[in-house]
Amino acid sequence: MQLCDHSATKLARMLRKGEVSSRQITESVFQRMDEKEDAINAFITATPEIALRQADLADRRFRENKKISLLNGIPIAIKDNMCTRGVPTTCGSRILENYIPPYNGTAVAKVLQAGAVPIGKTNMDEFAMGSSCENSAFGPTYNPLNLERVAG
């Protein structure tokens, strides 16, 4: 079992006990993405540099015994309709393919403030006009448990 197979709750417990680092968890997530992403197409944009930087900051907060949230050091994916400063936000559409917001949306700002580690922007139906993720300009997202099915 890889670290990325554990629940967020278990990973948070392991982080607090010092059994694992956020960097190790994040590297495990990106290893899994390298193995599976071509078949699943879950991400429009991966953010490994940002994620590893955030993971290192989270690990430092643990070492310094700072007051931290339950999300500190936990990898998260951000839906591609949430503005994320410096990261393309396409809303699943080629029309916004080159849009890079100068600010974080409120939800993104709050999870980052809590110490979560953003691993990338997830694929979605164009402009969120659907529920199956079959109608993205970047291709459909497949169910990781059964590639014959869509994720939605």
Q: What is the pLDDT, as a whole number, of residue 150?
A: 84
Q: What is the β-pairing status of strands 142-143 and 75-79?
A: unpaired
Contact 92, 44 (CB under 8 A): yes
Q: How many CB atoms lie within 10 A of CB 39?
A: 10
Q: What is the pLDDT, as a whole number, of residue 29?
A: 98
Residues of the chain with pLDDT below 50 are: none
Cα 41 to its chain centre, rounded Å, is: 13
Q: pTM score, two decimals?
A: 0.93
Q: How many CB atoms lie within 10 A of CB 99?
A: 12
Q: What is the pLDDT, as a whole number, of residue 1?
A: 83
Structure tokens at 126: 């164009």
Structural domains of the chain sorted by starting position, each given as residue range(s) with its CATH number in brackets: 3-150 (3.90.1300.10)
Half-sphere exposure of 121 (CA within 13 A, CB side): 22
Q: How far apart are CA 88 and CA 105, in angstroms?
A: 13
Helix%, strand%, coil% for the chain, nearest 5: 40, 15, 45
